[in-house]
Structure 1
Amino acid sequence: MAKKFSPKGFGSAAVHGGHVQDPNYAHQTPIYASSTFVYDTAEQGMKRFSGAEEGYIYSRWGNPTFKEPEAKITALETFGLNIEAKGILHASGMAAISTLLLSTLKAGDKILTHYSLYAGTDDILRLLLPHFGIEAVVLDLRDLNKAEEAIKNDASIKLVYLETPANPTIQIVDIEALTTIAKRHNLLVACDNTFATPYLQQPLKYGVDFVVHSTTKFLNGHGTAIGGILIGRDVEWMKTKITKTHRMLGGNSNPFDAFLLTLGLKTLELRMERHCGNAIQVANFLSQHPAIAKVNYEGLASHPEHDIAKKQMRKPGGMLSFELKEGFEGGKKFMDALQMCTRTVSLGTVDTLLCHPPSMTHFSVPKEQREKYGITDGLIRMSVGIENIEDILSDLEQALSV
């Protein structure tokens, strides 16, 4: 049976939210490794396909192992808020974004977004959507006047897409202010909440219509599974058009990755506390180091959107980036010198991960565009892990001294 209590704490919701007792009384939600599901009668099959009876049909359409992480993440995004929403688990964050864009936009529509997005998102906006007759309008949405002017002067804009903190420059946009502007003009608003997680930031609180995550990152927390989720506050729309698009695109999750995500979510609060506590110490250390030209971290008073971050985030996050004075070659030399910290793309795992966006995650973005967005040749992105802080700082110190 479903747990009937309403948790008072976020950590309790992360552990118990969305869990329904398995018929065989397994402690953990089982892995339903089945591509398809059977029916007692032909009539039952007809009822399930028509929607007259609830039940599973085919794992591309849904699987019992998906149910708990979908409900759990939705519960965390709405924790403490009087908001109903529905989440749909996907094979990746990009699959979730694809479902969002292709179910809300059509030929002739435009999407308004801002500088410094995840490179995969930038690619889909720049290289794929134009083939469907959909155009991206990219502006510095930290300037609210620019945002309002663009929306007022272009009736083709139908969706405002936000990513805050932004990848990899840690730019912050004002979710509440931009959503207020968008809603004055009856536009949809979506927000990528991957960097912050619902523990630090809840975009639905500010009127956002859709939230997307790469669950591969902080929500899983251990680098063991790829995944994504799309959460919408219009439950009926999520159950109908959004679900139909998701199923047609085939970006479904799988039972094994969903199971690993469920396990990771249970320690989200604990991990985020340590990520955040370590990150502010790393940011303070780097901001005083002579080899560093600039540190991008919303927890520093020097960050241009520090006050906005304080308004919409519970704490500064576990992500930061910094510019090396020696540029591209300095970035390569620094990366090669790391000993404990991990050289890799991705983020949000328990170990500290560093990458060089100009040569790695954002290599596909044209150099002129990268620099315009603040992705300089010497930029290093850092996902601060939960190791002991003295070990993280020691590794950074020796790598910067090479």
Structure 2
Amino acid sequence: MVNKDIQLKGKGTVAVHGGNEPDPNYAHLTPIYASSTFYFDTAEQGMERFAGEDKTRIYSRWGNPSFKVAEQKIAALEAHGITGADGKPLQLKALLHASGQAAMATMFLSNLSAGDKVLTHYSLYGGTQELLTKVLAENNIETVITDLRDPELAAAAIKADKAIKLVHIETPANPTLQCVDLEMISGIAKQHQLLVTVDNTFATPYLQQPFRYDVDYVFHSTTKFLNGHGTAIGGVLLGKDLEKMNSRVWKWYVLLGGNSNPFDAFMLTQGMRTLELRMERHCSNAMAVAQHLDNHAAIEQVLYTGLPSHPDHTVAMKQMKHPGGMLSFEVKGGVEAGKRFINRLQICTRAVSLGTVDTLISHPASMSHAGIPKAEREKYGITDGLIRMSVGIENIEDIIADLDNALQ
């Protein structure tokens, strides 16, 4: 067991050792604590647990030792190498949820009230956009959408509406890979005392650490790259205001009932151990695929932040270690050509979601963004012919051969 006082130098080491807790039975890996409740030796011990900040040994809706290790590992990755305002290593609190949507709901509902507004940008994940414009809207929390890549538009939107209390950023965005300058937008938001929240699912803390830019909350769908194997659904919410995270945010988390479960937490912890190795391969494969398709006669356009042709290439390279493992592209010939391409694939997997070790290909317009009206989708660059690709860790020659065969 690595001494917690040691400052680990590499994120790969953090992914393996960060957050680990010694097990009383000396298990090498954190066990699955499949218990709904935990007993107390004495009444006084029960009182101490209820009064303390560590709620992992009371009731599993409140917390669980299996959750705790996953939470601490993600917090260690997101905070790695960052110092807080006090000059000490940044401390974060993480809450493990049943899904990314649950983590996002806790994030918004614990920080917004009826009459408040959220400022965000277009080309968001479909579930995020529907949560904002349907669920929150029915609770009198409105959403203002502008192009947050333009600092003048962002500043103008904030100045024009005093009801805006929170700025939400998804970068890279799903599925167009649009990137927002975290430093710039967070700086503008902080001038007006607004909260800043970031969806870091596509990048993972290995490629991008939003807390470097003074944001307030980061969340992930842990189902994706953090788990890496498609074995469990999950989400995590991280915050740097520890007092608020341990009080108001934790209370919403508990009362909404969006907690994770011990098995999924265990699978997530094991998946994260190989995060660095997987992300390096995802990124190198994605770059090779993007460069290959960018010169392919059957492809209209490729959207990948690693290509200089992507409009947000400079921003992505400024705040990300690598461009990532996600890309989108448009097949010439529209929807029918896209359908033929998808149906002819033999190695790449036809499935929604992303971040698994195998390559996944989906059609956003009919799948992840099906709930968004067509006119709205197309305005945001999500056309009927757009294909989203989560590039896996297979040998690159096999991925490219499969794509070429399907594009013939």
Give matches, 1:1-400, under 5 Å.
3-4=3-4, 5-51=6-52, 56-82=57-83, 83-400=90-407
Label 1:54 to 1:167 Cα distance change in 2 as closer, same or farther (>3 A).
Answer: closer
1:3 and 1:19 in contact (8 A); partners too: no
Q: Deviations over 1:137-157 (max 9, x none)?
A: 011111111100000111100
Q: How far apart, in 2, do the equivalents of 1:53 and 1:61 lie?
A: 9
Structure 1 length as normaliser, TM-score?
Answer: 0.98
1:351 and 1:384 in contact (8 A); partners too: yes
2:359 and 2:391 in contact (8 A); partners too: yes
2:55 and 2:63 in contact (8 A); partners too: no
Structure 2 length as normaliser, TM-score?
Answer: 0.96
Shift of 1:52: 8.5
The answer for the alignment partner of 2:87 in structure 1 is none
Label 1:62 to 1:291 Cα distance change in 2 as closer, same or farther (>3 A).
Answer: same
Q: Deviations over 1:316-365 (max 9, x none)?
A: 10000001121112221111111000000000000000001111111111
Identity %, equivalent residues: 64
Q: How far apart, in 1, do the equivalents of 2:55 and 2:238 lie?
A: 21
SS of the counterpart of 1:171?
coil
Shift of 1:85: 1.1
1:331 and 1:378 in contact (8 A); partners too: yes
Q: How far apart, in 2, do the equivalents of 1:278 and 1:265 lie?
A: 20
Label 1:215 to 1:302 Cα distance change in 2 as closer, same or farther (>3 A).
Answer: same
SS of the counterpart of 1:334?
helix
Q: How far apart, in 2, do the equivalents of 1:85 and 1:45 lie?
A: 26
Q: How far apart, in 2, do the equivalents of 1:9 and 1:47 lie?
A: 36
SS of the counterpart of 1:104?
coil
Q: Deviations over 1:168-222 (max 9, x none)?
A: 0101111110000000000000000000001110000011110000000000000
1:96 and 1:230 in contact (8 A); partners too: yes
Shift of 1:250: 0.3
Runs of 4+ residues deviating >4 angstroms: 52-55
Q: How far apart, in 2, do the equivalents of 1:393 and 1:22 lie?
A: 45
Shift of 1:53: 8.3
Q: Which amino acid aligns with 2:161?
A: D
Q: Which amino acid aligns with 2:3?
A: K
SS of the counterpart of 1:49?
helix
2:55 and 2:64 in contact (8 A); partners too: no
Shift of 1:45: 2.6
Q: Which runs of 5+ in 1 are unaligned?
A: none
Q: How far apart, in 1, do the equivalents of 2:325 and 2:159 lie?
A: 36
Q: How far apart, in 2, do the equivalents of 1:139 and 1:53 lie?
A: 40
Q: Which amino acid aligns with 1:225?
A: A
Label 1:292 to 1:108 Cα distance change in 2 as closer, same or farther (>3 A).
Answer: same
> Could you say what the CA RMSD is over the residues aligned between the two structures, in angstroms?
1.2
* 46-55 or 281-290, which deviates more: 46-55
SS of the counterpart of 1:35?
coil
Q: How far apart, in 1, do the equivalents of 2:251 and 2:60 lie?
A: 14
Q: How far apart, in 1, do the equivalents of 2:141 and 2:56 lie?
A: 36
1:2 and 1:20 in contact (8 A); partners too: no
Q: How far apart, in 1, do the equivalents of 2:319 and 2:46 lie?
A: 47
SS of the counterpart of 2:94?
strand
Q: How far apart, in 1, do the equivalents of 2:37 and 2:285 lie?
A: 45
Shift of 1:373: 0.7
Q: How far apart, in 2, do the equivalents of 1:256 and 1:201 lie?
A: 27
1:47 and 1:53 in contact (8 A); partners too: no
Q: Which amino acid aligns with 1:247?
A: V
SS of the counterpart of 1:237?
helix
